[in-house]
Protein backbone atom coordinates (compact mmCIF):
# COMPACT_ATOMS: atom_id res chain seq x y z
CA UNK A 1 0.00 0.00 0.00
CA UNK A 2 1.43 3.40 -1.01
CA UNK A 3 1.87 6.22 1.48
CA UNK A 4 1.60 9.97 1.07
CA UNK A 5 4.88 11.68 1.90
CA UNK A 6 5.98 15.31 1.99
CA UNK A 7 9.53 16.31 1.10
CA UNK A 8 10.53 19.83 2.13
CA UNK A 9 13.34 21.26 0.05
CA UNK A 10 13.69 20.98 -3.72
CA UNK A 11 17.47 21.29 -4.02
CA UNK A 12 19.50 18.39 -5.36
CA UNK A 13 19.23 16.22 -2.24
CA UNK A 14 15.54 16.79 -1.56
CA UNK A 15 14.74 16.18 -5.22
CA UNK A 16 16.76 12.97 -5.34
CA UNK A 17 15.12 11.59 -2.21
CA UNK A 18 11.67 12.58 -3.47
CA UNK A 19 12.38 10.67 -6.68
CA UNK A 20 13.57 7.64 -4.67
CA UNK A 21 10.43 7.66 -2.53
CA UNK A 22 8.15 8.07 -5.56
CA UNK A 23 10.00 5.35 -7.45
CA UNK A 24 9.04 3.05 -4.57
CA UNK A 25 5.36 3.69 -5.24
CA UNK A 26 4.65 6.44 -2.70
CA UNK A 27 2.71 9.61 -3.51
CA UNK A 28 5.25 12.37 -2.95
CA UNK A 29 4.72 16.12 -2.60
CA UNK A 30 7.96 18.05 -3.17
CA UNK A 31 7.88 21.52 -1.62
CA UNK A 32 9.94 24.59 -2.45
CA UNK A 33 9.39 28.19 -1.39
CA UNK A 34 9.94 29.67 -4.88
CA UNK A 35 6.59 29.66 -6.73
CA UNK A 36 8.18 30.17 -10.15
CA UNK A 37 10.70 27.39 -9.60
CA UNK A 38 7.92 25.01 -8.54
CA UNK A 39 5.93 25.88 -11.65
CA UNK A 40 8.96 25.03 -13.78
CA UNK A 41 9.39 21.71 -11.99
CA UNK A 42 5.71 20.92 -12.55
CA UNK A 43 5.86 21.81 -16.23
CA UNK A 44 9.27 20.34 -17.13
CA UNK A 45 9.04 17.29 -14.81
CA UNK A 46 12.76 17.57 -14.07
CA UNK A 47 14.88 19.71 -11.75
CA UNK A 48 17.07 21.15 -14.50
CA UNK A 49 19.02 23.38 -12.11
CA UNK A 50 19.97 20.89 -9.40
CA UNK A 51 19.42 17.42 -10.90
CA UNK A 52 19.40 17.72 -14.71
CA UNK A 53 18.51 14.70 -16.77
CA UNK A 54 16.67 12.85 -13.98
CA UNK A 55 12.98 12.83 -14.82
CA UNK A 56 10.24 12.85 -12.18
CA UNK A 57 8.03 9.78 -11.68
CA UNK A 58 4.36 10.44 -12.38
CA UNK A 59 3.52 10.22 -8.67
CA UNK A 60 5.85 13.10 -7.68
CA UNK A 61 4.07 16.44 -7.40
CA UNK A 62 5.95 19.75 -6.89
CA UNK A 63 4.02 22.18 -4.66
CA UNK A 64 4.69 25.70 -3.34
CA UNK A 65 2.40 25.43 -0.32
CA UNK A 66 3.53 23.81 2.92
CA UNK A 67 -0.07 22.91 3.66
CA UNK A 68 -0.39 21.14 0.29
CA UNK A 69 2.86 19.28 0.92
CA UNK A 70 2.00 18.07 4.42
CA UNK A 71 -1.76 17.94 4.95
CA UNK A 72 -2.87 14.34 5.59
CA UNK A 73 0.63 13.04 4.82
CA UNK A 74 2.02 9.91 6.45
CA UNK A 75 5.57 11.21 6.81
CA UNK A 76 7.73 14.29 6.33
CA UNK A 77 11.30 14.39 5.05
CA UNK A 78 13.25 17.59 5.68
CA UNK A 79 15.96 18.47 3.13
CA UNK A 80 16.37 22.25 3.38
CA UNK A 81 19.73 23.93 4.15
CA UNK A 82 20.59 23.93 7.86
CA UNK A 83 20.10 27.71 8.07
CA UNK A 84 16.43 27.28 7.03
CA UNK A 85 15.46 24.39 9.32
CA UNK A 86 14.17 26.54 12.18
CA UNK A 87 12.09 28.88 10.01
CA UNK A 88 10.60 26.05 7.93
CA UNK A 89 9.63 24.01 10.98
CA UNK A 90 8.00 27.03 12.61
CA UNK A 91 6.09 27.77 9.41
CA UNK A 92 4.75 24.25 8.94
CA UNK A 93 4.35 22.94 12.49
CA UNK A 94 0.54 22.98 12.29
CA UNK A 95 0.57 20.56 9.34
CA UNK A 96 3.38 18.23 10.34
CA UNK A 97 2.29 14.62 10.86
CA UNK A 98 2.28 13.11 14.33
CA UNK A 99 4.45 10.34 12.90
CA UNK A 100 7.51 12.61 12.99
CA UNK A 101 10.24 14.08 10.76
CA UNK A 102 13.19 12.49 8.98
CA UNK A 103 15.99 15.04 8.52
CA UNK A 104 18.29 14.69 5.52
CA UNK A 105 19.92 18.04 6.34
CA UNK A 106 23.56 18.04 7.46
CA UNK A 107 24.81 20.87 9.63
CA UNK A 108 23.98 23.09 12.58
CA UNK A 109 21.42 25.81 13.13
CA UNK A 110 23.56 28.92 12.47
CA UNK A 111 21.76 31.12 15.01
CA UNK A 112 21.12 28.64 17.81
CA UNK A 113 24.38 26.75 17.28
CA UNK A 114 22.46 23.55 17.95
CA UNK A 115 22.42 20.17 16.28
CA UNK A 116 19.27 19.70 14.26
CA UNK A 117 17.67 17.15 16.57
CA UNK A 118 17.92 19.80 19.31
CA UNK A 119 16.21 22.37 17.08
CA UNK A 120 13.38 19.92 16.36
CA UNK A 121 12.99 19.17 20.08
CA UNK A 122 12.83 22.89 20.93
CA UNK A 123 10.21 23.66 18.27
CA UNK A 124 8.12 20.48 18.19
CA UNK A 125 8.72 19.01 21.63
CA UNK A 126 11.23 16.62 23.17
CA UNK A 127 9.12 13.55 22.42
CA UNK A 128 8.32 14.36 18.79
CA UNK A 129 9.62 11.47 16.62
CA UNK A 130 12.83 12.36 14.80
CA UNK A 131 15.41 10.57 12.69
CA UNK A 132 18.55 11.67 10.85
CA UNK A 133 19.51 10.33 7.41
CA UNK A 134 23.21 10.42 6.56
CA UNK A 135 25.92 8.47 4.81
CA UNK A 136 27.93 8.36 1.57
CA UNK A 137 25.34 9.57 -0.92
CA UNK A 138 25.62 12.05 -3.76
CA UNK A 139 22.22 13.30 -4.86
CA UNK A 140 22.73 12.67 -8.55
CA UNK A 141 23.60 9.01 -8.05
CA UNK A 142 20.57 8.50 -5.80
CA UNK A 143 18.38 10.22 -8.37
CA UNK A 144 19.70 7.92 -11.08
CA UNK A 145 19.02 4.86 -8.94
CA UNK A 146 22.69 3.94 -8.56
CA UNK A 147 23.61 1.70 -5.59
CA UNK A 148 23.68 3.65 -2.32
CA UNK A 149 23.74 2.77 1.38
CA UNK A 150 22.91 5.18 4.20
CA UNK A 151 22.20 5.31 7.94
CA UNK A 152 18.88 6.28 9.50
CA UNK A 153 19.41 7.20 13.14
CA UNK A 154 16.60 7.51 15.66
CA UNK A 155 16.05 6.74 19.32
CA UNK A 156 12.64 5.39 18.24
CA UNK A 157 13.33 2.16 16.36
CA UNK A 158 9.83 1.86 14.88
CA UNK A 159 10.13 5.29 13.31
CA UNK A 160 13.52 4.52 11.76
CA UNK A 161 12.19 1.20 10.47
CA UNK A 162 9.24 2.92 8.80
CA UNK A 163 11.49 5.29 6.87
CA UNK A 164 13.83 2.44 5.98
CA UNK A 165 10.81 0.68 4.47
CA UNK A 166 9.76 3.75 2.47
CA UNK A 167 13.27 4.35 1.11
CA UNK A 168 14.53 0.80 0.57
CA UNK A 169 14.88 -0.58 -2.95
CA UNK A 170 17.31 -2.72 -4.91
CA UNK A 171 19.45 0.40 -5.39
CA UNK A 172 19.02 2.06 -1.99
CA UNK A 173 19.92 0.26 1.24
CA UNK A 174 19.20 2.02 4.56
CA UNK A 175 20.79 0.76 7.76
CA UNK A 176 19.26 1.69 11.11
CA UNK A 177 21.09 3.21 14.07
CA UNK A 178 20.19 4.61 17.49
CA UNK A 179 23.04 7.13 17.51
CA UNK A 180 21.44 10.42 16.48
CA UNK A 181 24.24 12.53 17.95
CA UNK A 182 27.05 10.60 16.27
CA UNK A 183 25.34 10.41 12.89
CA UNK A 184 24.47 14.11 12.89
CA UNK A 185 27.94 15.17 13.96
CA UNK A 186 29.61 13.06 11.27
CA UNK A 187 27.31 14.49 8.61
CA UNK A 188 28.27 18.03 9.56
CA UNK A 189 31.95 17.69 10.48
CA UNK A 190 33.02 15.68 7.43
CA UNK A 191 32.38 18.79 5.32
CA UNK A 192 35.13 20.63 7.21
CA UNK A 193 37.64 17.90 6.41
CA UNK A 194 36.49 17.94 2.78
CA UNK A 195 37.36 21.65 2.55
CA UNK A 196 40.83 20.82 3.91
CA UNK A 197 41.26 18.02 1.36
CA UNK A 198 40.20 20.33 -1.46
CA UNK A 199 42.80 22.87 -0.36
CA UNK A 200 45.47 20.17 -0.10
CA UNK A 201 44.73 18.78 -3.56
CA UNK A 202 44.45 22.27 -5.03
CA UNK A 203 47.92 23.07 -3.73
CA UNK A 204 49.31 19.90 -5.29
CA UNK A 205 50.18 18.11 -2.06
CA UNK A 206 49.23 14.72 -3.50
CA UNK A 207 47.45 11.53 -2.49
CA UNK A 208 49.51 10.87 0.64
CA UNK A 209 48.47 14.19 2.15
CA UNK A 210 44.81 13.62 1.26
CA UNK A 211 44.82 10.19 2.90
CA UNK A 212 46.46 11.64 6.00
CA UNK A 213 43.85 14.40 6.24
CA UNK A 214 41.00 11.91 5.92
CA UNK A 215 42.48 9.62 8.56
CA UNK A 216 43.36 12.36 11.03
CA UNK A 217 40.06 14.08 10.27
CA UNK A 218 38.21 10.92 11.26
CA UNK A 219 40.26 10.79 14.46
CA UNK A 220 39.27 14.30 15.52
CA UNK A 221 35.61 13.81 14.58
CA UNK A 222 35.59 10.62 16.64
CA UNK A 223 37.16 12.35 19.66
CA UNK A 224 34.50 15.05 19.63
CA UNK A 225 31.68 12.62 18.87
CA UNK A 226 32.52 10.41 21.82
CA UNK A 227 32.71 13.48 24.07
CA UNK A 228 29.21 14.46 22.94
CA UNK A 229 27.84 10.99 23.69
CA UNK A 230 28.10 9.37 20.27
CA UNK A 231 28.53 5.61 19.98
CA UNK A 232 31.99 4.27 19.00
CA UNK A 233 30.66 2.06 16.19
CA UNK A 234 29.18 5.04 14.33
CA UNK A 235 32.51 6.58 13.31
CA UNK A 236 33.91 3.67 11.27
CA UNK A 237 30.44 3.19 9.74
CA UNK A 238 28.55 4.59 6.76
CA UNK A 239 27.81 8.00 8.26
CA UNK A 240 31.36 8.26 9.59
CA UNK A 241 34.26 7.05 7.47
CA UNK A 242 31.96 6.21 4.54
CA UNK A 243 30.62 9.73 4.10
CA UNK A 244 33.99 11.25 4.97
CA UNK A 245 35.87 9.36 2.25
CA UNK A 246 33.20 10.15 -0.35
CA UNK A 247 33.06 13.86 0.44
CA UNK A 248 36.84 14.28 0.58
CA UNK A 249 37.71 12.45 -2.65
CA UNK A 250 35.06 13.19 -5.27
CA UNK A 251 34.50 16.51 -7.02
CA UNK A 252 30.72 16.11 -6.76
CA UNK A 253 31.32 17.36 -3.20
CA UNK A 254 30.61 21.09 -2.90
CA UNK A 255 32.87 21.38 0.14
CA UNK A 256 35.80 19.74 -1.61
CA UNK A 257 35.28 22.01 -4.65
CA UNK A 258 35.15 25.01 -2.32
CA UNK A 259 38.57 24.06 -0.94
CA UNK A 260 39.96 23.55 -4.44
CA UNK A 261 38.81 27.02 -5.44
CA UNK A 262 40.35 28.62 -2.34
CA UNK A 263 43.66 26.96 -3.21
CA UNK A 264 43.38 28.46 -6.69
CA UNK A 265 43.06 31.93 -5.17
CA UNK A 266 39.28 32.45 -5.19
CA UNK A 267 37.71 34.48 -2.40
CA UNK A 268 35.10 32.88 -0.13
CA UNK A 269 32.26 34.71 -1.88
CA UNK A 270 33.56 33.94 -5.35
CA UNK A 271 33.90 30.23 -4.56
CA UNK A 272 30.38 30.07 -3.08
CA UNK A 273 28.94 31.89 -6.09
CA UNK A 274 30.64 29.52 -8.52
CA UNK A 275 29.31 26.49 -6.63
CA UNK A 276 25.80 27.92 -6.58
CA UNK A 277 24.59 25.93 -3.57
CA UNK A 278 25.10 26.06 0.18
CA UNK A 279 28.59 25.03 1.35
CA UNK A 280 27.63 23.55 4.72
CA UNK A 281 31.24 23.14 5.88
CA UNK A 282 31.59 26.91 6.30
CA UNK A 283 28.84 27.03 8.91
CA UNK A 284 29.84 23.71 10.46
CA UNK A 285 33.43 24.85 11.11
CA UNK A 286 32.26 27.58 13.47
CA UNK A 287 30.06 25.30 15.54
CA UNK A 288 32.31 22.24 15.59
CA UNK A 289 35.18 24.45 16.74
CA UNK A 290 32.91 25.85 19.47
CA UNK A 291 32.05 22.34 20.67
CA UNK A 292 35.75 21.41 20.57
CA UNK A 293 36.48 24.30 22.94
CA UNK A 294 33.62 23.47 25.31
CA UNK A 295 34.63 19.81 25.55
CA UNK A 296 38.38 20.52 25.32
CA UNK A 297 38.87 18.24 22.32
CA UNK A 298 41.98 18.61 20.15
CA UNK A 299 40.89 19.23 16.52
CA UNK A 300 43.84 20.68 14.57
CA UNK A 301 42.31 20.39 11.09
CA UNK A 302 39.06 21.98 12.20
CA UNK A 303 41.06 24.66 14.01
CA UNK A 304 42.88 25.68 10.84
CA UNK A 305 39.78 25.64 8.63
CA UNK A 306 37.89 27.72 11.20
CA UNK A 307 40.79 30.17 11.39
CA UNK A 308 40.88 30.39 7.60
CA UNK A 309 37.13 31.00 7.27
CA UNK A 310 37.25 33.72 9.94
CA UNK A 311 40.18 35.48 8.25
CA UNK A 312 42.62 34.64 11.04
CA UNK A 313 44.99 32.87 8.66
CA UNK A 314 45.60 32.32 4.96
CA UNK A 315 45.29 29.20 2.83
CA UNK A 316 49.07 28.92 2.66
CA UNK A 317 49.62 29.38 6.40
CA UNK A 318 46.85 26.92 7.30
CA UNK A 319 48.36 24.29 5.00
CA UNK A 320 51.87 24.89 6.35
CA UNK A 321 50.63 24.62 9.93
CA UNK A 322 49.15 21.18 9.29
CA UNK A 323 52.12 19.93 7.29
CA UNK A 324 54.58 20.99 9.96
CA UNK A 325 52.64 19.60 12.90
CA UNK A 326 54.79 18.17 15.67
CA UNK A 327 55.18 14.39 15.83
CA UNK A 328 53.22 12.63 18.57
CA UNK A 329 51.61 9.32 19.55
CA UNK A 330 49.00 8.44 16.92
CA UNK A 331 46.30 7.23 19.29
CA UNK A 332 46.28 9.91 21.92
Q: Hey, CA dihedral for 309, 252, 321, 106, is it positive or negative?
A: positive
Closest CA to 228 of 189, 176, 286: 189
What residue ranges in the chain does DSSP mark as E strands?
4-8, 27-31, 46-47, 51-55, 60-63, 75-78, 101-103, 130-134, 148-153, 172-177
- Centre a 10 Å sphere on the Cβ of residue 111 and count the other Cβ atoms it contains: 10
Candidates 4, 106, 190, 272; catalytic one: 190
Neighbouring residues of 16: CB distance < 8 A, sequence distance ≥ 6: 51, 54, 139, 140, 142, 143
Q: How far apart are CA 298 and CA 294, in angstroms?
A: 11
Name the CA dihedral angle for 308, 310, 313, 316, rounded to a multiple of 10 degrees: 30
Closest CA to 191 of 112, 278, 266, 269: 278
Is 317 a known active-site residue? no
Closest CA to 302 of 291, 288, 313: 288
What residue ranges in 19-59 does DSSP mark as E strands?
27-31, 46-47, 51-55
Neighbouring residues of 116: CB distance < 8 A, sequence distance ≥ 6: 82, 85, 103, 105, 107, 108, 109, 132, 184
Q: How far apart are CA 15 and CA 286, in angstroms?
A: 28
Q: CA geometry: angle at 113 spanning 124 and 274, to 5°?
A: 110
Q: Which residues are catalytic?
A: 190
Amino acid sequence: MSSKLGVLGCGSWGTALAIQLARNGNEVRLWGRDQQAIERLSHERVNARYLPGVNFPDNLYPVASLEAALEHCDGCLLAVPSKAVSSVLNACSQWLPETGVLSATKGFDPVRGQMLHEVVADILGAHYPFAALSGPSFAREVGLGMPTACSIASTQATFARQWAYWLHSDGFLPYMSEDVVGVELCGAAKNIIAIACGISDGMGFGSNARAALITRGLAEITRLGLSLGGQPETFPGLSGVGDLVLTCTDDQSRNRRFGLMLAEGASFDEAKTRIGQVVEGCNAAQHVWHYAGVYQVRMPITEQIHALLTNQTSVQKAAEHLIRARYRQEFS
